Structure 1
């Protein structure tokens, strides 16, 4: 084994009260936060001591938890100060710290209320430290009030991310019954997702909420069938739930997704698996599962054999439609570009390369010439030759569509007769 661009977006923190700060006020505030950085470990350790005093029973019998709490709190406080001071992060983003904390505390069985209490303590400690520095630097009260509003409003965002990560880990731990999951997936593959009672029960088991879509994945390994354990664990490390099952010649995956989750799933898959992976989203929840599964399989099947790639059906629509009916694809090539394939030598490659550039730019000789690094008149001459040989006109929208599809078909399957180099997509 070797998965969603792309980067994960940081949550948007609320704006302050009283309108935006002036550049001078922003600079004052950033400097005040930066002045807290040398004290960040001390602030964090004070928070850890308070939390251990209040919630001793969750940590007293587990010394390793207390040590982890201290290290985690230090990382949180330092990351928070750096972000508020406008400094570059030191390698770990705040949102990743929040997600990992939610996941780890769920694994340890620490109640969510205890975790949220720690975040409240941290926000209060930062607020009090900022007030102290602000008074020393004579920062106007309105500016400090603005900063306080941002701090406490930001706590809501932190808690939201943490709750989601904590709950996902709970679902993975409490509901991961392989036999029951397999039974539900089998039912979905028989089309039972459209049955209200079954769909409700399945959604509860799979951890689907009303605002979540269903992402289907079809994984076609080129080698012997691998285990899906590593994939599930990698997705879980990224705060994503997934379920996997062998189905015929491919591995079927199901993942509840919201926001940019789908992009993140594809990113994890791209980093984790070997082989071809197709994805598709059901916006209708489990009712659209069968269609999404078929689309994901079509996307995977449209990726050239021997490739290690992850693609969504939306990105591969022409390729998937061509791959779905090899007979029609061969006929398409025969009725459009076959005469070009009979041209010998370098001329064949030049004509095919010109065809690709011309259809990519809607028949524009000027833009095609920029791609090909040649004179516009040269492109016009070559296009005229292509039209004479094929009997198709690039000025006719239907002919241009057919030629474009034929070029895609040749690029995807060189066995149809097209030289791979000449038909390589533009970078």
Structure 2
């Protein structure tokens, strides 16, 4: 029966083309990518492969696999969904069954019965052809995805290194990444292992936010076109989904300023404590960013401002610095600072006087207060790093 149907392949291809057009619109909507002649030829080639397996056996010839492998590769390159291709393969199997059965019915009753008893060969053959097609599709899809990933990583690297002002780079970024040269952008720098998945955040696309992510150095960088949201709103949207430390730059104008945004995001990331996941928005941490931007100046500021306090034994130094922090948090109220520290206000006052003696400056002096606040930030940052 299979040998008989082999002579009817043109009619098979015509009927499958007609049936496929009616049932698989997702495939035929891509007529600009898949020429009708290509589809019709692939129908014939893959049906021939199945019929060859049926007529000559599964272990005698290997050339049957070339057609389904080639079909899978081409459809992956053309961007046709695998589900659509498999649907057409299933339609082709049904049509082969109809044609084989019609050929069998033209034979004697004994031959028809023998055909029905051996019809499992059809399903085995078409399954092998479909499996080979999927193999070709997946292998080419993986290769194309790897190439796309390399292009994306190369472009993201160029943009965060400040080459977005180059018209050629900007044009390629718009074509490959869908990022317009002019727009509102922010950079998110995620401090995580590159092997970990920091996948898309739900809801961003609905707000017009487009994110392109790629590994860069030992981190993952996200280029975010902000759409209709602010950088602050983006931080709020990211917070429930980021399980890692992240730095978020403020808003910048266009691809040309993404290099600046990357450096700002890096500063924001450095202000984040190692055990504090979630995004640190630079605009909310500008004093801390000033400190971490220059470690040498931060060290000098802490040493000059806190003076002999830093030379004390660990426990005494910790008590005095914790008292100073609590006093600032309490808006310089000794009573409220004592509540934060679970001690009497007089104890707070005694510790503050000792701090003044050790630093040689009055805590009533506005400039000294500013220096103390920055020195505490510098001391905490240097201790962490």
TM-score by length of 2: 0.52
Does the CA contact (< 8 Å) of 1:282 and 1:289 recur in 2? Answer: no
The answer for the alignment partner of 1:328 in structure 2 is: 297
The answer for the alignment partner of 2:200 in structure 1 is: 232
Does the CA contact (< 8 Å) of 1:304 and 1:413 recur in 2? Answer: no
**1:271 Cα deviation from its structure 2 partner:** 3.7
**1:319 Cα deviation from its structure 2 partner:** 2.6
Partners of 1:262 and 1:308 lie apart in 2 by 18
**1:263 Cα deviation from its structure 2 partner:** 4.6
Structure 1 unaligned runs (5+)? Answer: 1-59, 63-106, 108-175, 417-427
Which among 236, 242, 246 is matched to residue 215 of structure 2?
A: 246
Q: Does 1:214 pair with 2:185?
A: yes
Deviation digits for residues 333-381 of structure 1, max 9, x if unmatched? 2223252244447654432222112334564545545544555444333
The answer for the alignment partner of 2:260 in structure 1 is: 291
SS at match of 2:249: strand
Q: Which has the higher contact order (CA 8 A, sep 6+)?
A: 1
Distance 1:355 1:197, change over 3 A: same
The answer for the alignment partner of 2:286 in structure 1 is: 317
**1:316 Cα deviation from its structure 2 partner:** 2.5
Partners of 2:154 and 2:312 lie apart in 1 by 57
**1:245 Cα deviation from its structure 2 partner:** 1.7
**1:244 Cα deviation from its structure 2 partner:** 1.4
Partners of 1:198 and 1:210 lie apart in 2 by 9
SS at match of 2:215: strand
Structure 2 unaligned runs (5+)? Answer: 1-21, 25-80, 82-146
TM-score by length of 1: 0.48
Select the structure of larger CA radius of gyration: 2
Distance 1:393 1:206, change over 3 A: farther
Which among 312, 337, 352 is matched to residue 321 of structure 2?
A: 352
Distance 1:233 1:334, change over 3 A: closer
The answer for the alignment partner of 2:31 in structure 1 is: none
Distance 1:238 1:273, change over 3 A: farther
Distance 1:400 1:203, change over 3 A: farther
**1:255 Cα deviation from its structure 2 partner:** 1.1
CA-based RMSD: 3.7
Does the CA contact (< 8 Å) of 2:153 and 2:215 recur in 1? Answer: no
Distance 1:326 1:191, change over 3 A: closer
Distance 1:235 1:264, change over 3 A: farther
Instruction: Count how many residue pairs are aligned between Structure 1 and Structure 2.
Output: 243
SS at match of 2:369: helix
Which among 269, 273, 281 is matched to residue 304 of structure 1?
A: 273
